[in-house]
Amino acid sequence: MTAALRETPAPTNPPTKTVTLEIDGRTVTVPEGTSVYDAAKSLQIDVPVLCHDPRLRPVGVCRMCVVEIEGARTLQASCVRPAESGMKVKTGSAVVVRNRKMLCELLMADQRPASARDATTGDDQLFAIARDLGADASRLKSVTAPAAVHPRKRDNSSHVIAVDHQACILCDRCIRACDDVQGNHVIGRSGKGYGTTISFDTDVPMGTSTCVECGECASVCPTGALTNKPVTIAMTPRNTLKQVESVCPYCGVGCALKLHVDTAANRVVMSEGRSPSGNDARLCVKGRYGFDYASHPHRLTKPLIRKETAYPKGPLTATGRREDDGTRGADVYPDYAQALSAFREATWDEALDLVARRLREARDRFGSPAMAGFGSAKCSNEEAYLFQKMVRSVFGTNNVDHCTRLCHASSVAALLECVGSGAVSTIYRDIENSDVAILTGTNTTSNHPVAATFFKEAARKGTKLIVIDVRRPDIADHAWQYVQILPGSDVSFYNAVMHVILEEGLEDRAYIEKFTENFEALREVVKRYTPEVASPICGIEPDRIRLIARTIGAAKAMLVFWGMGISQHVHGTDNARCLISLCLVTGNVGRPGTGLHPLRGQNNVQGASDAGLIPMMYPDYQPVANDATREKFQKAWGTTLDPNPGKTVVEISHAVEKGTVLAMYVMGENPFLSDPNVQRVRDAFCKLDFLVVQDIFLTETAEVADVVLPSTSYFEKTGTYTNTDRRVQLGRPALDPPGEARLDWRILVDVMERMGAKQPYRGIEDVFDEFVRLNNSYANLAYRHLGGAGKLWPCPDPENSEGTVVLFGDGFPTKSGRAKFSPAEVIPPAELPSAEFPFVLNTGRTLQHWHTGSMTRRAKMLDAIEPEAYCEMNAADLVRLGIADDAFVRLSTRRNSIRVRVRATHKVQLGGVFIPFHFREAAANLLTNDVIDPKGKIPEFKFCAVNVEAA
Amino acid sequence: MTTTKRVDPAELAKLPCTGPSFDDLRGKLDPIVARYPQRAAALLPVLWVVQRARAGWLHPKSIREVAEYLAVPQAHVEGVITFYTMFKDQPVGRDVVVVCKTLSCRLRGAQEVMDALEDHFGIDMGGTTKDGRYTIETGECLGLCDMAPCMTIDEERHGNLTPESAVKTLEGRPR
């Protein structure tokens, strides 16, 4: 391990002051500031409480937790009363119990006879307290409001949450959860006195409010006021279900969650955040409600072999969506049966033999360079490791890549070049230590919603967020400055910021001298980028550039987060180089609250890259072209390896088109929707001599496969996943695989063995151990460490430590130990708008959907919330074109055209079009340009010229 | 007697939001905001200006615009305007009449005044006359106990009312 990767020392805490008090006759010593409630809890004394939750700021409004404190004038709410030395507390004296009972009866008098919470999750806290106290509200019914006569309203408008105002006790938990935990500020109170209710926005139904359906309110509600609606089967009390601690299958934030499983029905019933963990039990709509795709009837349950009659391969089956009758989101997969009709079911033996025989023949006939594989960032570290091992050691080629190429390849290229490591230098929650944070090219509230909650929290506590994006992201609501630069102008903006920093002497001289090299080259380049020069390019006034530069220059700790808006350009590597330079020049790397954090898009982008799903690198970024490294892997795998770096995603597709790659193995990827200029990819793939797809659904790509191998979903298997923080976490199985679907790692081992390469694994854990042996960054890690909150690699002492939070505190893992400035000049985007194609097309994601939608569009709730393809344009542009909001438009580029609904918005700049790429029926990537960044080989998803017409 | 129907909050957005555009109001609002160290602190006076300029009530659009202008959540504005009785989240008549219902006025015949107004205009307290001229509601102490029973019509004060004089006052004002 290099010096740079040494663990950061824990901050030395000042000695804690303590107080000693007596509770129910027992003495306890607690840190000063501890509440009486928590002090009692430390003695295992349970004080009943309604408004308090450990994750929320205590407010003491419910008065249920009152205790008797000797000498106090009245009973005290223990959740807000700090413990004091010498205090004598009684938590269950007669007066306390009488008080609680009265209070409980008053609350129960307004309740309906049965609790909706008891009927679902079985954990209504008010009803439980009433049972414990024997509180009988019947004597009060006649004096309270006639709840039975004029009950308060129910609100079933939300897709995921049922609201019953009659059950609400105004404990404020949901309001604090929405404000303080999630930072969404949707819930408030309406009215005053007895008529007060919780309300959404301006007291509109929850389903029409600005609620993003994260479910945090329902998770903290103590009564039947806010309850989850069933996602798969009817909700049953949690004590009737099996609990499985796992990790969310969606984005790179990698939230730790707990699945509640009905084992008899083989269904996940409910998902909850868990703590302690990186996400502190927070979840978003995908993590909380998006788990049911695993049980979708479209799951593949038997191996499929293409019928002889289904050659030659034709176009994709039609989606059959009824576009013109006004029904939104009518089933987009009505032709699944038709798609399946091209295949016949086969036994595993037949399918695996066929796959092994055809791949072997292809390798022997066309040679190893004609073979290629796409792995996936949705698979585990073990599966990614095995997949690249199969392609390298059995297919004999380095033509193995995955969707990282489409998201952060340029960021990783720049990071490896400049700081010697492609991983984040600190975790996302380190923002709590930053006084300034840049969020650029990231729509965090949609794509990393739980990370966004921590960013919003930091902003509330004083961190200045500088949000830079061509399309106004919702996190801009929380920003100190929102900077709407012109599309593709990133380099000019950051160069101008650095120009001001250097001109005004705001750089960190000492840091530059001690830890960096090539500084003069940067100075030379940015010298020319005065704010006045950059302003017309990036569209930001010179004075604002100066203001931002000065704020960054004055920051004690600045952290930079970025996403696809930076990376998916022909100048993506240059964009990332600028961000790295900005951190280095101001000395903002290697300390708490500083550093570089490219937010990873998928659950295991970091891990799949660490595991070597990269054509030029073995696991742990060890170059394939290096003889010593290759020798190590040849020895470990007992085979000869190709010394030539392989092709990247887009290069492989182009090679398939040219006929130089002829056989492909695709595991969990769906290039038919995810790749740029996708018609070209589809046409090319039809020409493959042999294509095998291993997936859980018959994806668009699988439709043209020769063999489809049904594999297991995230919820059915054990494996480790590395999130955007470098946090390695263990996913555990919750469900049995459907039908004959088989574990992915077993399928890979089966194929390798049938191709003649014997594998040594007794179980999945052996695969992880082999991976760890060949990957220094993961050294010392084993399954037994990876439950709970997981471990942050590098983790020299997993028995006692969470791992390394901040990297590069004392230098960089480069040859010289220094980081290198790599200055960048402005390069225009590859395809500029013209008279024929006057708009700029930008692609991205939505909150509810994920990647090619193969999972989220089969998740009932997510699909119900966002059922249909759409694009967004500036309202003024639509007025100018005479197109109404919500009408259909035709978007055309030099490559293709699609018909899709348009939404008017002010988030998109004039002259811009934004389109999410999840939707098969209007695939954004039919339009995108497959030109790539020369260094990162990432396609320019974020910029191409497009024309818009009414349709 | 008709029961006054409040418009369902979910339906309010369908009503027209009359009055000047928010951009036209900024000239009045910016100086108010400038008086406070934080934008959010200007919420009450800003709401008051917007309510007066826009037909005497706060349309959901007004709430959204004020929330955005002051960078506070809509839900927070909703909480404020439903707490303070002088903010209206429902359409009101051209003038708002408040009849005091607190102790001094009650002792001096406020109930009879209310009954007379209800009978005369055919509405419940809180309702709006059919011609849209008055919204008549009850309120807590108006600080005019020396001339109880009393009422206010917008910012005018009227005291020593009798059932007859109350009706006459309202009917006698220029239309």
Determine the distance in angstroms separating the CA of A197 from the nearest CA of chain B, rounded to an integer. 10
User: CA A888, CA A883: separation in Å to the nearest integer?
Assistant: 8
Instruction: Fill in the amino acid letter for B71.
Output: A
User: CA A203, CA B152: separation in Å to the nearest integer?
Assistant: 29
8 Å CB contact between A14 and A26: no
Q: Which helix (H) or strand (E) holds B96?
A: strand B95-100
pLDDT attached to residue A326: 44
Single out the residue of A641, A576, A652, A605 nearest to residue A822, CA to CA.
A576
Residue A632 exposed, middle or buried by CB count within 10 Å (0-12, 13-18, 19+): middle
- Cβ distance of B75 and A201 shorter than 8 Å: yes
User: CA A212, CA A231: separation in Å to the nearest integer?
Assistant: 17
User: Tens of pLDDT along A237-256?
Assistant: 999 999 999 999 999 999 99
User: Tens of pLDDT along A58-98?
Assistant: 999 999 999 999 999 999 999 999 999 999 999 999 999 99
Task: Enter the tokens of residue A552.
Answer: 């960054």
- Cβ distance of B78 and A201 shorter than 8 Å: yes
Residue of A189, A204, A210 lying closest to B10 (CB–CB)? A204
Q: How far is CA A926 from the centre of its chain?
A: 25
User: CA A169, CA A57: separation in Å to the nearest integer?
Assistant: 18
Task: Enter the tokens of residue A21.
Answer: 């008090």
User: Tens of pLDDT along B115-166?
Assistant: 999 999 999 999 999 999 999 999 999 999 999 999 999 989 999 999 999 9
**A210 part of contact set with chain B, CB < 8 Å:** yes
Domain with CATH 3.40.30.10 in chain B: 95-171
Residues of B in contact with A478 (CB under 8 A): none
- Cβ distance of B89 and A203 shorter than 8 Å: yes
- Cβ distance of A202 and B73 shorter than 8 Å: no
Residues of B in contact with A186 (CB under 8 A): 73, 75
Give the largest Cα separation in chain B, rounded: 50
CATH superfamily of B9-83: NADH-quinone oxidoreductase subunit E (1.10.10.1590)
pLDDT attached to residue A302: 97
β-partners of residue A691 are A664
CA–CA distances in Å: residue A397 to residues A361, A616, A656, A801:
15, 11, 15, 39
Residues 313-352 of A with CB under 8 A from B: none
Question: Count of CB atoms within 10 A of residue A877's CB?
Answer: 20
β-partners of residue A526 are none
**A187 part of contact set with chain B, CB < 8 Å:** yes
A198-234 in b/e burial notation, b at 16+ Cβ within 10 A?
A: bbbbbbbbbbebebbbbbbbbbbbbbbbbbbebbbee
User: Tens of pLDDT along A782-796?
Assistant: 999 998 999 999 999
**Among chain A residues, CA nearest to B76:** A188
Task: Tell me how many residue pairs between chain A and chain B have CB atoms under 8 A apart.
Answer: 53
Hey, which of A771-775, A861-865, A929-933 has the most confident mean pLDDT? Answer: A771-775
Q: By 3-state DSSP, what share of chain B in percent is helix, strand and coil, each rounded to 5?
A: 45, 10, 40
Please state the rounded mean pLDDT for residues B5-9. 77
Residues of A in contact with B88 (CB under 8 A): none
CATH superfamily of A409-445+463-598: Dimethylsulfoxide Reductase, domain 2 (3.40.228.10)
- Cβ distance of B78 and A188 shorter than 8 Å: yes
Helices A649-658 and A678-686, axial angle in degrees (round to 10) = 50
8 Å CB contact between A736 and A802: no
**Among chain B residues, CA nearest to A193:** B83
User: For tokens 């119990």, what's the residue?
Assistant: A97
Categorize the per-residue pLDDT at A2 as very low, low, confident or very high, splitting at 50, 70 and 90. Answer: very low
User: CA A199, CA A153: separation in Å to the nearest integer?
Assistant: 11
pLDDT over 50 at A170, yes or no: yes
pLDDT attached to residue A936: 86
β-partners of residue A177 are none
* CATH code of the domain made up of A839-950: 2.40.40.20
Q: Which helix (H) or strand (E) holds A501?
A: helix A490-503
Instruction: Fill in the amino acid letter for A207.
Output: G
Single out the residue of A869, A67, A44, A712 nearest to residue A383, CA to CA.
A712
Q: Starting at the edge strand that comes first in sequence, how are the strands of the sheet with A719-722 ordered?
A: A719-722, A727-731, A791-792
Lowest mean pLDDT among A66-75, A657-666, A941-950, B4-13: B4-13
Residue of A179, A190, A205 lying closest to B78 (CB–CB)? A190
Residues 6+ apart with CB under 8 A from B142: B98, B100, B102, B150, B151, B152, B157
8 Å CB contact between A316 and A672: yes
Task: Enter the tokens of residue A717.
Answer: 């298997």
User: CA A604, CA A456: separation in Å to the nearest integer?
Assistant: 24
β-strand A371-374 against A663-667: which pairing, if any? parallel
pLDDT attached to residue A325: 44
Determine the distance in angstroms separating the CA of A188 from the nearest CA of chain B, rounded to an integer. 5
Strand extents, DSSP E, A303-381: 304-306, 343-345, 371-374
End-to-end Cα separation, chain A, in angstroms: 60
Please state the rounded mean pLDDT for residues A386-395. 96
Residues of B in contact with A203 (CB under 8 A): 9, 78, 82, 89
**A200 part of contact set with chain B, CB < 8 Å:** yes
Single out the residue of A379, A785, A415 nearest to residue A793, CA to CA.
A785
User: Tens of pLDDT along B62-114?
Assistant: 999 999 999 999 999 999 999 999 999 999 999 999 999 999 999 999 999 99
**Among chain B residues, CA nearest to A202:** B78
Written as one string, the DSSP assignment of B82-135 is HHSTTS-SS---SEEEEEE-SHHHHHTTHHHHHHHHHHHHT--TTEE-TTS-EE
- Cβ distance of B89 and A202 shorter than 8 Å: yes
Residue B145 exposed, middle or buried by CB count within 10 Å (0-12, 13-18, 19+): middle
User: For tokens 């290759």, what's the residue?
Assistant: A630
pLDDT over 50 at A927, yes or no: yes
pLDDT over 90 at A334, yes or no: no
8 Å CB contact between A219 and A177: yes
- What mean pLDDT, rounded, does chain A reach? 92
Determine the distance in angstroms separating the CA of A207 from the nearest CA of chain B, rounded to an integer. 11
Please state the rounded mean pLDDT for residues A533-562. 96
- Cβ distance of B82 and A191 shorter than 8 Å: yes
User: CA A722, CA A820: separation in Å to the nearest integer?
Assistant: 27
Helix (H, G, I), strand (E, B) or coil at A752: helix
- Cβ distance of A203 and B76 shorter than 8 Å: no
Instruction: Fill in the amino acid letter for A896.
Output: N
User: Tens of pLDDT along A820-860?
Assistant: 999 999 999 999 999 999 999 999 999 999 999 899 999 99
User: CA A251, CA A442: separation in Å to the nearest integer?
Assistant: 13
- Cβ distance of A199 and B76 shorter than 8 Å: no
End-to-end Cα separation, chain B, in angstroms: 25
Residue of A186, A190, A205 lying closest to B82 (CB–CB)? A190
Categorize the per-residue pLDDT at A145 as very low, low, confident or very high, splitting at 50, 70 and 90. Answer: low
pLDDT attached to residue A4: 40
- Cβ distance of B10 and A208 shorter than 8 Å: yes
The pTM of this model reads 0.93
Q: Which helix (H) or strand (E) holds A10?
A: none
pLDDT attached to residue A416: 92
β-partners of residue A464 are A436
pLDDT over 90 at A336, yes or no: no
Residue of A186, A192, A203 lying closest to B9 (CB–CB)? A203
Interface test with B, best of A165, A198, A202 (most B CBs within 10 A): A202
Helix (H, G, I), strand (E, B) or coil at A716: helix
Categorize the per-residue pLDDT at A427 as very low, low, confident or very high, splitting at 50, 70 and 90. Answer: very high
Domain with CATH 1.10.10.1590 in chain B: 9-83
Q: Which fold has domain B95-171?
A: Glutaredoxin (3.40.30)
**A189 part of contact set with chain B, CB < 8 Å:** yes
**Among chain B residues, CA nearest to A191:** B82
**Among chain B residues, CA nearest to A203:** B9
- Cβ distance of A477 and B9 shorter than 8 Å: no
**A199 part of contact set with chain B, CB < 8 Å:** yes
Helix (H, G, I), strand (E, B) or coil at A738: coil
pLDDT over 80 at A447, yes or no: yes
**A769 part of contact set with chain B, CB < 8 Å:** no
Residue of A187, A191, A205 lying closest to B10 (CB–CB)? A205
pLDDT over 60 at A1, yes or no: no
Determine the distance in angstroms separating the CA of A184 from the nearest CA of chain B, rounded to an integer. 9
Task: Enter the tokens of residue B101.
Answer: 């219902």
- Cβ distance of A204 and B13 shorter than 8 Å: yes
Residue of B73, B82, B89 lying closest to A192 (CB–CB)? B82
pLDDT attached to residue A15: 64
Residue of B71, B77, B83 lying closest to A192 (CB–CB)? B83
pLDDT over 90 at A5, yes or no: no
Determine the distance in angstroms separating the CA of B115 from the nearest CA of chain A, rounded to an integer. 24
Instruction: Fill in the amino acid letter for B122.
Output: G
Chain B positions contacting chain A at CB under 8 Å are 9-10, 12-13, 60, 63-64, 71, 73-79, 82-83, 89
Residue with more model confidence, A136 or A225: A225
User: CA A666, CA A747: separation in Å to the nearest integer?
Assistant: 13
Categorize the per-residue pLDDT at A6 as very low, low, confident or very high, splitting at 50, 70 and 90. Answer: very low
Residue of A179, A189, A202 lying closest to B9 (CB–CB)? A202
Determine the distance in angstroms separating the CA of B166 from the nearest CA of chain A, rounded to an integer. 29
